[in-house]
Homo-oligomer: A and B are copies of this chain.
């Protein structure tokens, strides 16, 4: 059989009714990755995920003496394997004047509580690999630093160029 041409495949936005077909592909992917033991998605959870929505970014602030002294900006990410959202912490920052008050820990606990309350499977963020004191702190509260995943990023001209290529 000759290789089918690129033009034969059409790309469209998935609908909730695609849940079964997509779950079947997710299962293939999990098999390829030897990760089927982590795959708990069902057609129903995937269907709901494809239909649902949530705010795109949220932010907690901490106030001290009437002033906002810390913020935690976060959003929901999503695991296809779990068909479940997670809570992704983009930034957590405490102003120097408000340090050593336990604000960062209190915000992490609040974020964890939000994650649990919203049935998020994961609470995730990133750390610089040379920031050992942060890594020690995170491991101490039970988080795991994933050794083998790397973030890939495309911006600017490369992104525009890819977007404008023949479709």
The residues of A with any CB-CB pair to B shorter than 8 Å are 3-6, 8-14, 18, 21-22, 25-26, 28-29, 49-50, 52-65, 67-71, 73, 75-80, 85, 88, 90-91, 93, 95-96, 98, 100-103, 105-110, 112-113, 115-117, 121-130, 135, 138, 141-155, 157-167
Contact = CB atoms under 8 A, between A and B. Distances in A.
Contacts of A58: 13-14
A152 B144 contact: yes
A97 to B, nearest CB: 9
A8 B91 CA distance: 22
7 contacts: A6-B106, A9-B106, A26-B91, A56-B78, A57-B78, A116-B160, A123-B155
Contacts of A151: 124-126, 145-146, 149, 151
A115 to B, nearest CB: 6
Nearest to A167: B109
Nearest first, the 8 closest Cβ-Cβ pairs linking A and B are: A142-B158, A14-B59, A6-B102, A21-B68, A112-B162, A112-B163, A116-B163, A143-B154
